[in-house]
Amino acid sequence: MALRTRPTETFAQVAPDQDPRECLAALHELEDDDVRSGTYRAFDGASELLNALHPRAWALVTSNYEHRVRGRFTRTGLPLPEVVVDAAAVEEGKPSPVPYLQAAARLGAQPEDCLVIEDAPSGVQSGLRAGMTAWGVNTAAPVDGVHRHFSSLREAVRDILAFTVGLVPHRREGSITVE
């Protein structure tokens, strides 16, 4: 099951009659085992994109926990940024703007200069509420509210990299081509 919000918020929706601490403990045990023994494959385009970015120029904002994300990234050979905002770092998770606003502040960036790349509706809403440009990836149909939609991360890599160097003149609208 892929969590699109922080675990405690998910438990409140799917198991309201269960003790959230017990649910969380069971989830932690399963996920930690999965980090050690699971099989992972990075999204097509992820390595190219993340290796092209300076580790201080981007942040990872996740509804999961940093140690698990680090374990999974390590197992797939993906680089990690210096800034990781995880479920433990914020009182309010996605779709609140708090996680993305914290990431921008830690990067020393203004929200309006930030690009959010998301595949989850709660993440898109979080980025939009933070005043950021939000592009959707890895979904068959656009998530409501995205400024741009790409069916795959691979399809988005060139435009994401162009955004990071300011080649997108009006960042919230339209499409660009980078030759």
Averaged pLDDT for residues 1-10: 63
Output the CA torsion 12→13→19→23 (10° steps): -110
- The two tokens of residue 38 are 């699971």
Average pLDDT of every residue of the chain:
88
Averaged pLDDT for residues 84-105: 95
Averaged pLDDT for residues 133-154: 94
Which helix (H) or strand (E) segment holds residue 134: the answer is strand 133-136
Measured CA to CA, the distance from residue 116 to residue 171 in angstroms comes to 12
Which helix (H) or strand (E) segment holds residue 115: the answer is strand 115-118
pLDDT bin (cut points 50, 70, 90) of residue 1 is very low
**Is the pLDDT reported for residue 61 higher than 60?**
yes
Measured CA to CA, the distance from residue 109 to residue 113 in angstroms comes to 7
pLDDT in tens, 27-46: 889 989 988 888 889 999 99
pLDDT at 165: 86
Query: Bridge-partner residues for 85, per DSSP?
Result: 61
Output the CA torsion 44→46→52→56 (10° steps): 170
Contact at 8 Å (CB) between 151 and 139?
yes
pLDDT at 15: 86
Measured CA to CA, the distance from residue 135 to residue 117 in angstroms comes to 5
Domains of the chain, CATH where assigned: 7-164 (3.40.50.1000)
SS3 1: coil
pLDDT at 174: 41
Measured CA to CA, the distance from residue 59 to residue 25 in angstroms comes to 27
Rg (CA), the chain: 16
